[in-house]
Amino acid sequence: MGNTVRIRRMTRSDYPQLVELIRRTWYADADADGQETPDDAQDHGAASRLAAIDAQDCLARATHAAVAERDGRIIGAILGSDPARVTRMQRTRHRLRQIRLALPLLASPAGRGGLMEQLAILQADRALVRAAGKTYPAEIALFLVAPESKGLGVGGRLFAHMLGTFREHGIHEYFLFTDTSCDYGFYEHKGLRRMATEHIATAHGEPLDCFLYEGDVERR
């Protein structure tokens, strides 16, 4: 039973693991030699805060959330948003948490650089929505699988679960943001359509292409 992966609804108690999963997936904070220095420890703290800000950004608009669990450990997560069901109180609560998380980051170069990159991605996302030229009834706000768990079918199961949830709520079209730091080929394999592209630079000056994809929920 140790290899059994269970897809279930996300709960509040999953939040620490969600943040750690985001950190390990998108925020590198260790030297290539694997040895942690005092600077690495500071960067690790910044990375954890940046990951928590990402989580709060997604939770601010999430109305559906599921995780993949194996042996009590979260190895994947997906958050969906039905904008019509998102309340002002929900958005405000999570935005305030983002601000509290962000303030200490202004004191370190790693923190400031990370915040600037998050802001650049946010601006790119807004530009992508304008370029797409339409309003969508739903969004996949967050979708990630632990790097060591890829290839096990976890992503496919989580994605199918969210599309099933959309279908149950009468939603037949959705969109998502992604970029070249992610496995965006997964979405093309699933038949999603790339509707817009924006080019930005990371905090390290590396090019990053950001995309908006749209997809259909098949009726049954």
Residue 162 CB partners (closer than 8 Å, separation 6+): 64, 66, 78, 80, 140, 143
Tell me what pLDDT residue 43 has. 61
Q: Tell me: the pLDDT tens digits for 84-102? A: 999 999 999 999 999 999 9
Each residue of 50-71: pLDDT tens digit?
999 999 999 999 999 999 999 9
Taking residues 146-167, report their average pLDDT.
94
- Report whether pLDDT(216) > 80: yes
Residue in this structure with the two tokens 């690495």, named with its chain if needed: 40
User: Amino acid identity of 34?
Assistant: G
Mean pLDDT confidence for 159-171: 97
Look up the pTM and report it.
0.90
The pLDDT assigned to 30 comes to 38
Domains and CATH numbers, the chain: 6-216 (3.40.630.30)
Residue (of 76, 95, 104, 97) closest to 18 by Cα position: 76
H helix runs in the chain, sequence order: 15-26, 38-59, 88-102, 109-132, 154-168, 185-189
Residues 6+ apart with CB under 8 A from 130: none
pLDDT of res. 28: 63
% the chain with pLDDT above 90? 82
CA end-to-end distance (rounded Å), the chain: 33
The yes-or-no verdict on residue 197 having pLDDT over 90 is: yes
Q: Is residue 117 classed as helix, strand or coil in its secondary structure?
A: helix
Q: Is residue 29 scored above 60 in pLDDT?
A: no
